[in-house]
Amino acid sequence: MIFTLITSVLPGDIDEQNHVNNLVYLRWVQEIAIAHWKAIAPPAAQAAVSWVVLRHEIDYKVPAMLGHEVELRTWVGKATRLTFERFTEIRRKPDDQLLAEARTLWCPVNPKTGRPVRVPVEVRGQFSS
């Protein structure tokens, strides 16, 4: 179950090396994860669960440049009661060149207390491979 978004590289995304700054890739990883959750999770789950990152791993392959259109792709790998392993690919359109890939470990938390919460089995099943 791959979820996708399309975005464009904007002038503010460019760093001193004249390509997309690594913080922008991290922002894209977070933005697509949140969009995926909001698009798929039932409203009750969205109200009961927020997410915090436990770990990010990003491998940069080819730099994105100003004016590039990129496709963000994400999916959830292993999902337990307290962690979701999420994969993200960032690809240049229209040639589908892989620019970067990420693996992120997310922990569900109660939005009011910030304490870890368990994600119901049926919700895990909607996301996990």
Whole-number average pLDDT of the chain: 94
Cα–Cα separations (whole angstroms), residue 86 to 1, 14, 16, 64, 68: 12, 26, 30, 22, 24
- Per-residue pLDDT band for 129 (boundaries 50, 70, 90) equals low
Mean pLDDT in residue range 13-19:
96
- Per-residue pLDDT band for 64 (boundaries 50, 70, 90) equals very high
Cα–Cα separations (whole angstroms), residue 96 to 48, 58, 103: 37, 18, 19
For residue 53, pLDDT over 80 is answered with yes
Q: pTM for the whole thing?
A: 0.92
For residue 33, pLDDT over 80 is answered with yes
Q: Say what the pLDDT of residue 122 is.
A: 81
> How many structural domains are present in the chain?
1
103 vs 64: CA distance, rounded Å: 19
**Phi and psi (nearest 5°) for 103?**
-125, 125
Q: Say what the pLDDT of residue 119 is.
A: 84
CATH of the domain at 105: 3.10.129.10
Question: Could you tell me the residue range of the domain that residue 94 belongs to?
Answer: 3-127
Tokens, residue 90: 């960032």
Q: Say what the pLDDT of residue 88 is.
A: 98
* Alpha helix (H) residue ranges in 41-85: 43-48
Digit-coded pLDDT (tens) for 80-102: 888 999 999 999 998 999 999 99
Closest C-alpha among 73, 107, 69, 67 to residue 87: 73
